[in-house]
Amino acid sequence: MDNHFKHHIFFCLNKRDDGESCCANQGAEAAFDYMKSRVKKLSLNGKHKTRVNRAGCLDRCNQGPLMVIYPEAIWYTFVDNDDVDEIIESHLINGQVVKRLQIL
């Protein structure tokens, strides 16, 4: 079976109009842009590698900002670029879940 990508990452970038907590209000867009550029710079992008995608609401607003990495279905929250770097290094490169950032 061809799993076109080794990792497929979805960032919740949803913006709620009602003013309630949402990933877009917690820095998700900047983290998405940062991860996408880092993955590309590290040559981790492309077929059989990693794809970083935008997503609408992933229905976990109170736990955001967040991303989910498939095929493992590991959910992460993050605060800054250091957290994103740790997820790239540990999860994408070394295959180890970052437990401190994982959402269960």
The position carrying tokens 């095929």 is: 71
Q: Which helix (H) or strand (E) holds 55?
A: strand 50-55
pLDDT at 51: 96
Which of the two residues, 18 and 99, has the higher pLDDT score? 99
Token pair for 45: 């992008």
Cα separation, 82 vs 78, in Å, equals 9
Write out pLDDT tens, residues 20-66. Answer: 778 888 889 999 999 999 999 999 999 899 999 999 989 887 888 99
57-79: burial string, b at 16+ Cβ within 10 Å, e else: ebeebebbbbbbbeeeebbbbbe
Taking domain 7-103, whether its CATH number is 3.40.50.970 is answered by no
- Lowest-pLDDT choice from 3-7, 68-72, 95-99: 3-7
- Do the Cβ atoms of 46 and 89 come closer than 8 Å? no
Write out pLDDT tens, residues 11-20. Answer: 999 888 777 7
Q: DSSP letter for 33, please.
A: H
Number of Cβ atoms within 10 Å of the Cβ of 39: 21
